[in-house]
Amino acid sequence: MISDLGFVLMLLGAAIVMFIVGRPRMDGVALVVIVILPLSGIVSIEEALTGFADPNIVLIAALFVIGEGLVRTGVAQRMGDWLVATAGQSEARMIVLLMIIVAGVGSVMSSTGVVAIFIPIVLRIAARSGTNPGRLMMPLSIAALISGMMTLVATAPNLVVHGELERRGFEGFGFFSFTAFGIPMLVLAIVYMLFARRFLTSEQIADAPNRPQFSTWIDQYALAGREHRLQIRPGSPMIGQSLGELDLRSSEGLTILAIERRQRLGRQLVQPRADTRLASSDILLIDYFNPGGDIADVVQRLALRGLPLSGAYYTDYAQEIGMAEIMVPAGSDLIGKSLVQSQFRTHHDVSVIGLKRGRKSVSQSLAHVELALGDTLLVIGPWRAIRRLQADFNHLIVLGLPRESEEVLPAPDRAPFALAALALMVVLMVIGIVPNLTAALIACLLMGLFGCVDFKSAYRAIHWQSLVLIVGMLPFSVALQRTGGVDIAAQALLDIAGATGPHLVLATIFVVTAGLGLFVSNTATAVLMAPVALGVADALGASPYPFAMTVALAASAAFMTPVSSPVNTLVVGPGRYHFVDFVKIGTPLALIALCVNVVLVPIIMPF
């Protein structure tokens, strides 16, 4: 038995060393464990592979998919936009709101995914205010880690500990079992970061060369003031007419860029084509370019009504309507033809709203200008049409896409369905009428049904490395229990702190778990420490819940090094941090988490 335990400990030590040096990668180490442990005879191959059938593993995968649905539909991005609008230029207010939002979103999706979503948002905020991203990236990572203390499904270690309880025959944690600890921890962390931010770099960063934005082209092509949002009133001569029949560009200087049409579940943005027929109450997004003309006269004659615009030249429609600069190359069929003659919009589904010949912008009406070699056209239209232009090398060359193209969401109109699916999952988990896994799978199916995710994005969203890591480390739990390692570790903890009472035992478990998490991922730490903590509870004759909760909370308190969690690793580059930054900021915060744990856990979950 001792020799078997020695082998397991040697293999565990080797796995930890490989985790520390990063070779091979973590999931590779997990696969090595899956292969070697059955060869020793301590566990069977079936037991080594049991993790692949663990409901909690499938639940974690489902949560990755649900998080992807929130990203693709823009739910998370809208929260970021609200954050920018609300916080303004106040750094303190920004930190408070950022940490609250990140912790809230992270409570129902992967904390790693939350950080990936908010990194570009934080970078935009920093660029806009001229501050160093390092002032905001550390609060971002800390809030994402604390989000793991909010709900059962917030992070993988919670589910690992929950699964260990169920394997021991106990009832697992409830959905909100963690919330009573997470909220006080979040409040303390916010207060702490408002003080500790002074130790993070505050120097301003120079503006880096950026890709053009909508605003860049609006200035270069003098588009400001040309945009109009007009509604067709009853009795308008345009009702029932097709755009081809009206030919508004030639007759009035009006280019219809899109048509807002009210639907039962909201508005639909209709792409204008020659055969598109207009209806009463349609809202037209217009580019009016008619030197010497009067838009007020056009509005009156065509029985239109002017509506307000909230963004300069339709920047508020950037999720649906894009821009691009394109050039007419040698050999193009467009050379010598006007836009009308070439039926440019009919063939390419975009409208030309600006033209440069050399460096000079053409100021006359564009409809009948003959295109020449090297002309640069500014086009506007649906993003999918602009993407198609990139493949048309014979007739056009796409010179550049604006920065807004990086932020276009695949399914922005599906956001209500994504929120509904998420809400249903949370309600089902809280009520408990179906297992947590079933609730998550129902939410995944609903997101697929309503187009929030597709199969390709769903599979891509799952962090397979994390799943394989958990599955590969689970056999250690079985092996350590079978060889007596769990009992020995539990007795060692009792020998160290048992004589002074269970509170010090909890503190010791927290310190050991957090200390192990300095070198091993918090998920692997939870896998190793959960059975030890429950063994301590058995030895003390105490309830297993405070000890299991301590492991979960300590696994989420991975503040002290950049390798403690992928959450920290993600912000190192954008925040321009060094290893010592995490030690300096994270160590006091980990001590605060220790105090919260020792004080609150015995009160809420008595021994």
**pLDDT tens digits, residue range 88-146?**
777 788 889 889 988 888 887 767 667 766 776 777 677 666 667 888 888 988 998 99
If you average pLDDT over every residue of the chain, what do you get?
81
- Is the pLDDT assigned to residue 461 strictly greater than 80? no
CA distance 347 to 350: 8
Distances (CA, A) of 262 to 241, 313, 321: 18, 21, 18
Which residue, 36, 114, 103, is CA-closest to 463? 114
% of the chain beyond a pLDDT of 90 = 6
pLDDT band, residue 187 (cuts 50/70/90): very high
Q: Is the dihedral of CA 64, 469, 141, 106 positive or negative?
A: positive
Rounded distance between C-alpha atoms, residue 351 and residue 150, angstroms: 49
Lowest-pLDDT choice from 400-404, 431-435, 521-525: 521-525
Residue 577 binned pLDDT confidence (cut-offs 50, 70, 90): confident
**pLDDT tens digits, residue range 19-51?**
667 677 767 887 888 888 888 888 888 878 877
pLDDT higher than threshold 50 for residue 14 = yes
Residue percentage of the chain with pLDDT more than 70: 88
- pLDDT value at 189 more than 70: yes
Q: Could you tell me the CA-to-CA distances from 487 to 162, 535, 537 in Å, in that order?
A: 20, 6, 11
With b for 16 or more beta-carbon neighbours within 10 A and e for fewer, the 150-161 pattern comes to bbbbbbbbbbbb
Q: Mean of the pLDDT values across residues 580-584?
A: 82
From first CA to last CA, the distance across the chain in angstroms is 32
Question: Which residue matches tokens 């920018």?
Answer: 84
pLDDT number for residue 446 = 92
pLDDT recorded at residue 184:
93
| pLDDT tens figures, 354-392 | 888 877 777 777 777 888 888 888 999 888 888 888 776
Does residue 254 contact residue 302 with C-beta atoms inside 8 Å?
Answer: no
Whether 202 has a pLDDT exceeding 60, the answer reads: no
Higher confidence at residue 134 or residue 588?
588
Q: Report whether 520 contacts 560 (CB < 8 A).
A: no
**pLDDT higher than 80, residue 324:** yes
Q: Which pLDDT value is given to residue 521?
A: 67
Residues 55-83 pLDDT 10s: 767 877 887 788 778 778 877 667 767 77
Helix, strand or coil for residue 486?
A: helix
pLDDT value of residue 22: 66
- 329 CB-side CA count, 13 A: 10
Phi and psi (nearest 5°) for 154? -70, -30
The pLDDT assigned to 209 comes to 46
Q: What is the reported pLDDT for 254?
A: 86
Per-residue DSSP letter, 327? E
CA atoms within 13 A on the CB side of 323: 25
pTM over 0.75: no
pLDDT of residue 341: 84
Which DSSP helix (H) or strand (E) runs through 191?
helix 179-196
At 206 the pLDDT is 47
Alpha carbon 373 to its chain centroid, in Å, reads 43
Tens of pLDDT, residue by residue over 394-417, are: 678 888 788 777 667 777 778 888
CA 495 vs CA 215, 536, 539: distances in Å: 68, 11, 11
Longest dimension (CA), the chain: 95
Is residue 602 over pLDDT 50?
yes
**Rounded distance, CA 337 to CA 348, Å?**
15
How far, rounded to the nearest angstrom, does the alpha carbon of residue 414 sit from its chain's CA centroid?
16
Q: How far apart are CA 319 and CA 560, in angstroms?
A: 39
Count of CA atoms in the C-beta half-sphere (13 A) of 180: 13
pLDDT higher than threshold 60 for residue 481: yes
Residue 592, pLDDT > 70, answer yes
Does 207 score more than 50 pLDDT?
no
pLDDT band per the 50, 70, 90 thresholds, residue 168 = confident
Greater confidence, 489 or 323?
A: 323
